[in-house]
Amino acid sequence: MAAPICPTCGTAARLTDGREIYPHRPDLADKPIWACTVCEDTYVGCHPGTEEPLGFPADAALREARILLHHRRIDPLWKDAPRTGGYGRLDAEGIKTVQRAARVRVYGFLAARMGLTRETCHTAMFTLEQCREAWTALKGVSYGEIRDWAKFGEGRKPTGRKRRAPASGEGVAA
Ligand SMILES: [Zn+2]
């Protein structure tokens, strides 16, 4: 496992765990965390069940920016999706299904707006600059717009899912 490099000082991070980083959170004690050996309070968590870093070590300002981006911009869009109409009456399972699909669309939309692939469009990998870019990209956007974009949108990047394939010989329409 290659140690992630701290973007602030260029040093390879060291692997530690929640006992050191979150001393007041016994529930996180065993979580592997990569921490910068030079910069104070600069770390990154791992993909669940692995020691693979979720991006690069972030300082408090960057972590705060990522959290804000989630709470104020990204999460409300997909969480409120079932209330945006067109779904009829939904039970708890139906609400979850709509939210899951909405979440995929929100990230797809954000990736397209930011010129990223879906694989690199994760807030844990965002720089402060990208957090600002995402914040602006989602400003004033409703889930209805994202749903329309997903259905009829232009400039979508292929997601691996089959959409109306152009007949052979036909150019790919812009
Ligand atoms: Zn550092």
Residues 22, 98 within the same domain: no
Residue 16 CA to ligand 1 center (angstroms) comes to 15
How many CA atoms lie within 13 Å of 11's alpha carbon, on the beta-carbon side?
14
Strand-pair partners of 35? 14, 43
Q: What integer pLDDT is reported at residue 55 of this predicted model?
A: 86
Q: Report yes or no: 127 and 134 within 8 Å, Cβ to Cβ.
A: no
Residues 90, 116 within the same domain: yes
- Sheet with 43-44, strands from edge to edge, namely 14-17, 32-35, 43-44
Residue 59 clears pLDDT 90, i.e. is over it: yes
What is the count of structural domains for the chain?
A: 2
Residues 54, 79 within the same domain: no
Residue 21 CA to ligand 1 center (angstroms) comes to 15
Residue 66 clears pLDDT 70, i.e. is over it: yes
Q: What integer pLDDT is reported at residue 143 of this predicted model?
A: 95
Q: What integer pLDDT is reported at residue 40 of this predicted model?
A: 92
Torsion of CA 23, 68, 101, 166, to 10 degrees: -130
Whether 125 is in a domain gets the answer yes
Whether 136 is in a domain gets the answer yes
Q: What integer pLDDT is reported at residue 36 of this predicted model?
A: 97
Query: How large a percentage of the chain has pLDDT more than 90?
Result: 71
Give the residue numbers spanning the domain of 38: 1-58
Residues 11, 72 within the same domain: no
Residues 130, 68 within the same domain: yes
Residues 25, 42 within the same domain: yes
What does pLDDT average to over the chain? Answer: 88
Residue 105 CA to ligand 1 center (angstroms) comes to 34
Residues 86, 124 within the same domain: yes
Whether 108 is in a domain gets the answer yes
Q: What integer pLDDT is reported at residue 3 of this predicted model?
A: 95
Q: What integer pLDDT is reported at residue 78 of this predicted model?
A: 96
Mean pLDDT of 89-112: 94
Whether 8 is in a domain gets the answer yes
Whether 49 is in a domain gets the answer yes
Residues 8, 84 within the same domain: no
Using pLDDT thresholds of 50, 70 and 90, give the confidence band for residue 77. Answer: very high
Residues 114, 124 within the same domain: yes
Q: What integer pLDDT is reported at residue 174 of this predicted model?
A: 43
Residues 78, 51 within the same domain: no
Mean pLDDT of 52-60: 91
Residue 12 CA to ligand 1 center (angstroms) comes to 8
Residue 158 CA to ligand 1 center (angstroms) comes to 36
Q: What integer pLDDT is reported at residue 154 of this predicted model?
A: 58
Q: 163 versus 41: which is more confidently predicted? A: 41
Residue 14 CA to ligand 1 center (angstroms) comes to 11
Residues 1, 69 within the same domain: no
Residues 23, 54 within the same domain: yes
Using pLDDT thresholds of 50, 70 and 90, give the confidence band for residue 145. Answer: very high
